[in-house]
Amino acid sequence: MTSPLPCPSPASVLDLAPVVPVVVLSDPADAVPLARALVAGGLPAIEVTLRTPAAPEAIRAVATEVPDAVVGAGTVITPEQVDACVAAGARFLVSPGWTEALLTAMRGSGVPFLPGVSTTSEVVALLERGVREMKFFPAQAAGGTAYLRSLAGPLPQARFCPTGGIGAATAAEYLALPNVGCVGGSWMVPADAVAAGDWARIEELARAAAGLRGAGGTSR
Ligand SMILES: O=C(O)C(=O)C[C@H](O)[C@H](O)COP(=O)(O)O
């Protein structure tokens, strides 16, 4: 299945933006103003997690109403979700972990994807299947920058989007690693700001996050 959108899908999720906001929405009506704030702050790639029933409608709204955003789906764990998200307009897919069935569905989706890994063997298994770009989850709990730095020696062909427990203070350290393409996180979309509709605060946090690449390093 291919994206119904006229805009092409990105070639790589890792090269879209240095920071990918991970969004949990309970009200789909928040999706468009939130996405506009993130885009205005310099973060066009947005991962809407499937943790809430609002997610498909939120993805559809951003895909159709915020053309400067590149909206993707997160927490994708079944082949059915792959199809539903792409049909809703998701232009990339992210999972916290992977299975053969999920990988097959993601490969067939027509959009780029990041299967999740947290161990060396999972990384090797994905490389064996021709997948070089992955989500490293839960990044802080699974070993953080020290773990990723250790992987870069024997497995330099693997590139990661670490996510989970990363904040404004630690993101730059991840971005300075040679095997990190981007980092994901929710620190620029605090739940209380979303609940209050404080889009200006989210735009400000996004702007600070968007500036991290220069502050933290330039290597990829
Ligand atoms: O929902 C998913 O698909 C996940 O895999 C988990 C999220 O990516 C992280 O929970 C975001 O991490 P925080 O920045 O610590 O909030």
* Mean pLDDT on 47-66: 97
pLDDT at residue 165, as a whole number: 98
Q: What is the CA radius of gyration of the chain?
A: 16
Q: Give dist(CA 187, CA 39) in Å, integer.
A: 16
Cβ burial, residue 201 (10 Å; 0-12/13-18/19+)? middle
Q: Give dist(CA 122, CA 97) in Å, integer.
A: 9
User: Which protein residues touch ligand 1 with a CB less than 6 Å away?
Assistant: 22, 49, 51, 74-75, 96, 137, 163-166, 184-187
pLDDT at residue 11, as a whole number: 82
Q: Is 47 a catalytic residue?
A: yes
Beta strand pairing status for 19-23 and 183-185? parallel
Q: Model confidence at 215, in pLDDT bands (50, 70, 90)?
A: very low
Q: Model confidence at 153, in pLDDT bands (50, 70, 90)?
A: very high
Here the tokens at position 143 are 């070993």
Whether this model's ipTM surpasses 0.85 comes out as: yes
How many angstroms separate the alpha carbon of residue 47 from the centre of ligand 1?
10
Residue 131 has pLDDT above 50, yes or no: yes
Q: What angle do CA 36, 37, 38 make, to 5 degrees?
A: 90
Against a cut of 0.90, is the pTM above it? yes
* Mean pLDDT on 10-23: 91
pLDDT at residue 212, as a whole number: 87
- In one letter, which amino acid is 215? A
In ligand 1, the atom with minimum distance to the C-alpha of 166 is 14
DSSP states along 61-74: HHHHH-TT-EEEEE
Does a cis peptide bond (omega within 30 degrees of 0) precede residue 138? yes
Q: Model confidence at 217, in pLDDT bands (50, 70, 90)?
A: very low
